[in-house]
Amino acid sequence: MAEVDPEIYGLVSSEFARQRDGIELIASENFVPLAILEAQGSILTNKYAEGYPHKKYYGGCEFVETVEEVAIRRACDLFGAEHANVQPHSGTQANMSAFFTFMNPGDTMLAMSLDQGGHLSHGHPLNFTGKLYRIVGYGVSPETETIDYEAVERLAKEHRPRVIVAGASAYPRFIDFSRFATIAAEVGAVFMVDMAHIAGLVAGKVHPSPVPHADFVTTTTHKTLRGPRGALILCKTKYAQELDRSVFPGTQGGPFMHAIAAKALCFKMAATDEFRTYAAGVVANAKKLCAALGERGFRIVSGGTDNHLILVDVKGSRNVTGRDAEKLLEDAGITVNKNMIPFDKEKPFVTSGVRLGTAAVTTRGMGEAEMERIAEIVDRVLSAPEDESLRIAVRKEIKELSEAFPLYPELLQTPSGVRAALSPLPRNS
């Protein structure tokens, strides 16, 4: 890469340095193990494999279809599912395929509103869901900022949706999957869960699983699951044939076999005791960071967290918008994202909140002591938004903290190390 395209190589190297030297608190991001980087960069990227194992449309698939079979088996074993489709390229594509399995244009979907913590692919007007389906949104109670299940039940009985969706992109509490399933059964709706954010916590046995309760479960394979960028759909056996048709040829053609190999590695790693320890650490770190921020006067949406995610009302706590808080912290070496909070009065690209997550810092080996230190630094930066010199000083602190928990310690932290990570070849080639 360095020889063929120095410009792109330089940008990749700069991104490597950014990840290495900063603190990553974006709740949807993580650092994949080196083995997964290797699979993602493998020669499997060369192979077309449209169709499913033993029903491929191309020749020469004897090895890659076995990779896919291994990934399917491991996914089912990991989550206790009856059927898995490992081909979706992204979480939104996984949701699209699931919806296409049981919905027609004009059908009604009951899902969590984006401004209350939901996801774009659960009914935003500019998303395919908002264009194809009639969307009814549910949200949280103004008093508790947790899901208002009585309102969900009332809306379900009023609108008789074809599908009820549970799952969110900015909701820090447990979701009562059993209650959702009961409501869906009462109105004859399909029950689907998008567990993209919590999949690693479910796999690690530190979060309730939706699989026993839902007809369909979709998830990304990155985030807390710590795998490659991609997605997965789980379902009951009775839906398997229709679901597979919805994925291929319904919504995509050739699967990314290098990504499916990386997913297989991810599922194997997530079934270990080591991963369960990691998942427990993610939750413990989130609770500690949440408590430490609360002690410093930050208002935490819903009053706490049950998972990896914290939603902080920075406008109410420090009179800075989410957009400004994101930029201030980025200047100091901490990456977060602005995020709407329930009943937010700011615009979506301004927001009153920021969303924090502990999956990536836990991967680097940080613990509760580091969460206390990060909370103290966040407090200093957001309490003095005009003090540029403070942010410069803090950035040095963040780099020192990061160096104590090196990213990919297996590699020499040099451009040649980056190259080795990005361009792996079989050792005996």
d(CA 402, CA 110): 43
d(CA 83, CA 62): 21
Say how many Å lie between the first and final Cα of the chain, rounded: 19
d(CA 245, CA 97): 9
Annotated active-site residue in 21, 50, 69, 176:
50
Contact 135, 109 (CB under 8 A): yes
Annotated active-site residue in 9, 21, 29, 48:
48
CA dihedral for 276, 279, 280, 281, sign (positive or negative) = positive
Grouping H, G, I as helix, E, B as strand and the rest as coil, residue 123 is coil
Q: Which residues pair with 311 in a beta bridge?
A: 355
- Residue labelled with tokens 């990934």: 71
Annotated active-site residue in 24, 65, 148, 194:
194
Please return the burial class of 243, using the count of CB atoms within 10 Å of its CB with bins 0-12, 13-18 and 19+.
buried
Annotated active-site residue in 129, 218, 220, 351:
220
Identity of residue 336: V
- Residue labelled with tokens 């995610």: 309
d(CA 254, CA 88): 10
| CA-closest candidate to residue 222, choices 204, 241, 248, 196 | 196
**Number of C-beta neighbours around residue 73 at 10 A:** 14
Percent helix / strand / coil, the chain, rounded to 5: 50, 15, 40
d(CA 351, CA 27): 17
What is the pairing mode between strands 231-235 and 216-220? antiparallel
- The answer to whether 48 is a known catalytic residue is yes
d(CA 121, CA 231): 14
- The answer to whether 220 is a known catalytic residue is yes
d(CA 113, CA 135): 9
| CA-closest candidate to residue 168, choices 152, 188, 187 | 152
d(CA 16, CA 24): 12
CA dihedral for 146, 27, 232, 57, sign (positive or negative) = positive
Grouping H, G, I as helix, E, B as strand and the rest as coil, residue 4 is coil
Annotated active-site residue in 73, 229, 296, 327:
229
Q: How far is CA 351 from the centre of its chain?
A: 20
**Which residues are catalytically annotated?**
48, 50, 194, 220, 223, 229
